[in-house]
């Protein structure tokens, strides 16, 4: 963002990350120092909204820089009047630059497009979430030598919910989750792993009352055919299905005999 704002203003700009905190949406809206410009933007792929707040000191500093103000002079603030159309458009262009860099920051995790929906100066008209909902607040300080200010990005938890599983991943190094060495090692170990599997011929659910009345010698009928499929399981996961096999064995008194594999030998 430092490079983007330097190209945007043709001035010496330094951007620093002040803090990233978790706040309540209502508490944040009540703490915004006025006057300020609140930009409501939409995350197209996530189908939700976010908020970008530019404080008055940064607004007047940016206007002063873009319109050719002299260096070394503090920007003049005129209280008690709304922002003009030129000032609003300049702030909108600033927010567009910041959101473009935010898209680049999220791109390794999830492609997203941030588009400005509207600009507001009254926090009541910028309500994008319920007051009690939690949100992530990112505060950036923009310093242009002897002038500057803060810009804050607010993302409600509901906005980043679609990429929550990706955010919870642990990335190794700078490769964002892909490590060929680890992938090769993992594939080798999986191929050499030994697991015990069970061949389930038949299973059924019976009432507890019937189970309690069973006695020694009772017969439980198995409602299955000879060509029924046998499930091969590893724990509770079904790996595959197969059929009962037939083997032919030599006997010393007979030429050959065919016998079915007993269920407990499968």
pLDDT digits (tens, 9 = 90+) for 53-75: 998 888 888 888 888 766 655 55
State the Cα–Cα distance between residues 172 and 158, nearest whole angstrom. Answer: 27
Contact 1, 102 (CB under 8 A): no
- H or E element that contains 184: helix 180-192
Query: pLDDT band at residue 163, thresholds of 50, 70 and 90?
Result: confident
Domains of the chain (ranges, CATH numbers): 2-167 (3.40.1550.10), 195-265 (2.30.330.10)
Cα of first residue to Cα of last residue in the chain, in angstroms, is 65
The burial class, CB within 10 Å (0-12 / 13-18 / 19+), for 262 is exposed
Q: Which residues contact 38 (CB under 8 A, 6 or more apart)?
A: 32, 51, 52, 53, 119, 120, 121, 123, 126
For residue 41, the cross-strand partners are: 50, 116
b or e along 189-201 (b: 16 or more beta carbons within 10 Å of the residue's beta carbon)? eeeeeeeeeeeee
The answer to whether the bond into 145 is cis (omega within 30° of 0) is: no
Structure token digits, residue 241: 């299905």
CB 49 within 8 Å of CB 158: no
pLDDT one-digit tens code per residue, 191-210: 888 888 898 888 888 889 98
Structure tokens at 179: 């490590």
pLDDT level of residue 174 (50, 70, 90 thresholds): very low
Could you tell me the pLDDT band of residue 141, with boundaries at 50, 70 and 90?
A: very high
Cis omega (within 30 of 0) for bond into 242: no
Q: Are 202 and 226 in contact (CB under 8 A)?
A: no
Separation of alpha carbons 173 and 246, rounded Å: 54
Q: Give the whole-angstrom CA distance, residue 152 versus residue 58.
A: 11
Alpha carbon separation from 59 to 54, 87, 108 (Å, rounded): 7, 8, 31
Q: What is the mean pLDDT of residues 37-45?
A: 90
Contact 261, 245 (CB under 8 A): yes
pTM above 0.85, yes or no: no
Mean pLDDT calculated for residue range 85-96: 89
| pLDDT at 98 (0 to 100) | 92
The fraction of the chain above a pLDDT of 90, given in percent, is 16
């Amino acid at each position: 963002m430092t490079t983007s704002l330097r190209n945007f203003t043709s001035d010496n700009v330094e951007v620093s990350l002040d803090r990233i905190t978790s706040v309540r949406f209502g508490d944040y809206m009540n703490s915004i120092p006025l006057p300020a410009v609140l930009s409501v933007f939409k995350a197209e792929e996530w189908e939700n909204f976010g908020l970008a707040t530019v404080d008055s000191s940064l607004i007047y500093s940016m206007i002063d820089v873009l319109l050719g103000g002299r260096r070394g002079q503090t920007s003049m603030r005129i209280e008690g009047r709304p922002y003009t159309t030129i000032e609003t458009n300049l702030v909108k262009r600033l927010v567009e630059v910041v959101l473009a860099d935010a898209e680049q920051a999220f791109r390794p995790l999830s492609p997203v497009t941030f588009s400005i929906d509207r600009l507001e100066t009254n926090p009541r008209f910028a309500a994008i979430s319920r007051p009690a909902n939690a949100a992530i607040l990112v505060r950036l300080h923009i310093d242009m030598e002897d002038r500057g200010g803060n810009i804050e990005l607010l993302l409600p938890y509901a906005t980043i919910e679609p990429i929550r599983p990706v955010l919870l991943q642990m990335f190794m190094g700078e490769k964002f989750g892909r490590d060929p060495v680890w992938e090769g090692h993992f594939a080798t170990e999986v191929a050499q792993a030994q697991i015990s599997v069970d061949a389930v011929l038949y299973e059924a659910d019976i009432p507890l009352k019937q189970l309690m009345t069973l006695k020694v010698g009772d017969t439980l009928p198995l409602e299955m055919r000879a060509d029924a499929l046998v499930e091969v399981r590893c724990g509770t996961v079904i790996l595959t299905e197969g059929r009962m096999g037939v083997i032919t064995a030599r006997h010393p008194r007979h030429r050959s005999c065919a016998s079915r594999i007993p269920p407990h030998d499968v």
